[in-house]
Structure 1
Amino acid sequence: MDEVLLRSLTPSVLGILVRRGADFAAAEDAVQDALVEAVRVWPEDQPRDPKGWLVAVAWRRFLDATRADTARRRREGRLDEEPAPGPAPTVDDTLQLYFLCAHPSLTPSSAVALTLRAVGGLTTRQIAGAYLVPEATMAQRISRAKRTVTDVRFDRPGDVTTVLRVLYLVFNEGYSGDVDLAAEAIRITRQLAAAIDHPEVAGLLALMLLHHARRATRTAPDGSLVPLAEQDRGRWDTASIAEGVGILQSALARDRLGEYQAQAAVAALHADALTTEETDWVQIVEWYDELVRLTDSPVARLNRAVAVGEADGPRAGLAELAALDASLPRRTAVAAYLHERDGDLATAARLYAEAARTAPNLAERDHLTRQAARLHTLLSR
């Protein structure tokens, strides 16, 4: 059975049910029931019209649930007639589902969970496993999210920026459990790119592909982090790089620059360099200038300080860093790196140890601790 096909059909099937009059929460439950039924039936008897089959089964499940709910009997006059068999409607409400699942009234974690469930077609168990939380906890989160958006008008224009932010959150979760969230985010973003002609959607897809191309080299066999400069570039996925660069070039040609295109341009410059020494840091600084102009993001300014340190020397990078808030996450780690590049190993060792204490995850903490230990060893010789 083609699980990818099932997941790809999920948003359009859900959109058809909502368009027929089902409220979002009930429709989503019905679609999940239909997916479970497909997993049971399709291996032996896959229908010629998979989408139509899913629509028919989901609609029947919705009607059954509605009739069983006495509080909703008033709606049965409108819902009682099941549509005649035939091909599924061609209208595609996928884009509206993206907007709905990334509604501003939802918290980021709820928007991510709802997107994975309603648009991505993942089960609650799979999403819970990916986020390492109990299934019951994730079920409650998704239920609250569905209740929140149930009364939102389905035909209202949505905010593409919010949708892209949610998809990037999914991508950055990476991999855990039995669901590869980075790959899932790429798959869903491809669907969005097919549904909407927007340069920033293309920019995000390019950014994901370019980052994902380096995935196999980001960690050592023991799970420790491998910095970009030390990664084996011969193991980068050249096909993903080529696809990402091609998508990015097409987006940039439209002259509607956005933050994801700018980030993808930086990633493309890293991918283009055969060695660390050949990296075009001057051009990377220029792209960070554009990113700062577009977003005024402290994180973009921090990354720009690193790039300036590579392009113009560590002291220039430290001068840029001095203008940034001392509480900015990872600022101390960047300061440690630049001080080491400048030859001040004692200050760098102290800062690496300080950064390790506030690292956002175990892998970073271990990496920074090892960096501090390495410098202490050099200083003691």
Structure 2
Amino acid sequence: MDDTPELERFRAEAATWLESQLAGPFRDIRGLNNHVDLIERRRDWEQCLGAAGWSCVGWPAAYGGRDASIAQQVVFAEEYARARAPARIGHIGVELAGPTLLAFGTPDQKNRFLPDIAAGRAIWCQGYSEPNAGSDLANVRTKARRDGDRYIIDGQKIWTSMGQIADWCFVLCRTEPGSVGNKGLSFLLVNMHQPGVTVRPIRQMTGESEFSEVFFDGALAEVRDLVGADGNGWRVAMGLLGFERGVSTLAQQMQFRNELDALIELAKENGKAADPLIRQRLAQAQIGLRIMRFNALRLLANAESGQLSPEGYTYKLYWSTWHRDLGELVMDVAGPAAEIGETAERFPPLTTMFLMSRADTIYAGTNQIQRNIIAERALGLPREARGP
């Protein structure tokens, strides 16, 4: 990440464009960190990014990207967060569905889906978790049976981020009757705007509804929208999770930086910064964030090989624990004022962050599961005993 003249020019170009848009036509959504407010304006923002070629800079130019290097992708992620640009409602398509199709999709799938993702015309969601299949993803029970040139899908997904606004969903489902575990699974691309798909938003304790339950009752997917071979969905699903630990982690850290800066300012304003214990905890948070950045850069140094480096397995456990602790520090600094909502349904942003941070150690694999993954995959220790 040494700043070469070329990289500095790229950084300046990205920063200048972002500022021109966020201080101008999109100033009304600057700083929005949730995925529920001003959705139509957020769709406009996704399309603006796409039109300017900033939506998915690391993708091939043929599909709407810029063929950006890893270093350039990191720079754009950092400048995006530094500019306080809104949270991307298109991030599941850009960061997960798109890279998965680039790696595993057919030419037909790439040509049909990637341009719409890059242009911001299609919003995607992820159909993985189920009521009895969260961290134990291999326990999915949603079924799809083939009927000619289509699959008929029945089942339920839960904790589906942006399910209520998504146009498409990638669904991990069981296509081999009687199969168990990670065998007999397939990875299907499903149109959300069809009979047989019911979406029910889940109201969170923050007052928002970023997540949904999704019910499939005879929903259809075309055979040509099967990614990978029938029954080979586990390989595709695991490949997708590898993309989750990519460049977007740097943008996440910049958001953490914004939250920590806001917390420091609050501590100065209300006098808590004079408390030596609070000051020490703020310093530890600062140190932890720097360590997180260095570890992420080390992880990305191996990204072009397509293999997750051993230290990469520690990343999710590290950041989720750090963010949970920052949330607890927020409440200690803010005091009782943090418990008073700004409206009847909304809390102050830092309080919302605290409430959301409680989920960080659960979604995308609980901390307990992460420790098993580190032990078995990174350290090569014996696998934990599984039941029959």
TM-score, with structure 2 as normaliser:
0.24
Identify which of structures 1 and 2 has the higher relative contact order when contacts are C-alpha pairs closer than 8 Å and 6+ apart: 2
More helix by share: 1
Structure with greater Cα Rg: 1
